[in-house]
Amino acid sequence: MIFDELYNIAKKTLNPRQISKNSSASSVAAAILTDKGNVYTGVCIDTPCSMGFCAEHAAIASMITAGENRIVKLVAVYKDGSIIPPCGRCREFICQIHDDNYKCAVMVRKDTIVTIDDLLPYSWERNNL
């Protein structure tokens, strides 16, 4: 699957809306492709008191629920269609759920693909490998 397809799946997953007085959801959607060729999607949940989580986080939870954990491609899309690189926490989270996920290709701009290793160099974990 090429990145353009993954981007379109993420974009179609967007459904930005207010879900309660103080919380909103789905202004960012992520799509991840696994080594088995399956795609999982997720959206962010934005709440007060830091209880929400990122779209990547939600997509990963869906993937783990389905019994997979090796990510080969990832893209996250904001509600205006722009591409958002994963935050630091998600970069670390992705690395911790499979030992080879640092090789995961990430679309960070329309014309730019990098790896998680590029985004999270000098890992505390991989420096010992």
Q: Which residues of this protein are in contact with Zn ion, per CB under 5 A? A: 54, 87, 90
At 42, the amino acid letter reads G
Angle at 66 between CA 62 and CA 68, to 5 degrees: 95
State the Cα–Cα distance between residues 70 and 32, nearest whole angstrom. Answer: 10
The CB-of-121 to Zn ion minimum distance in angstroms stands at 18
State the virtual CA torsion across 98, 68, 103, 12 in degrees, nearest 10. Answer: -130
| CB nearer to Zn ion: pick between 36 and 109 | 109
| CB nearer to Zn ion: pick between 104 and 128 | 104
The CB-of-128 to Zn ion minimum distance in angstroms stands at 25
DSSP 23: -
| CB nearer to Zn ion: pick between 33 and 58 | 58
The CB-of-54 to Zn ion minimum distance in angstroms stands at 3
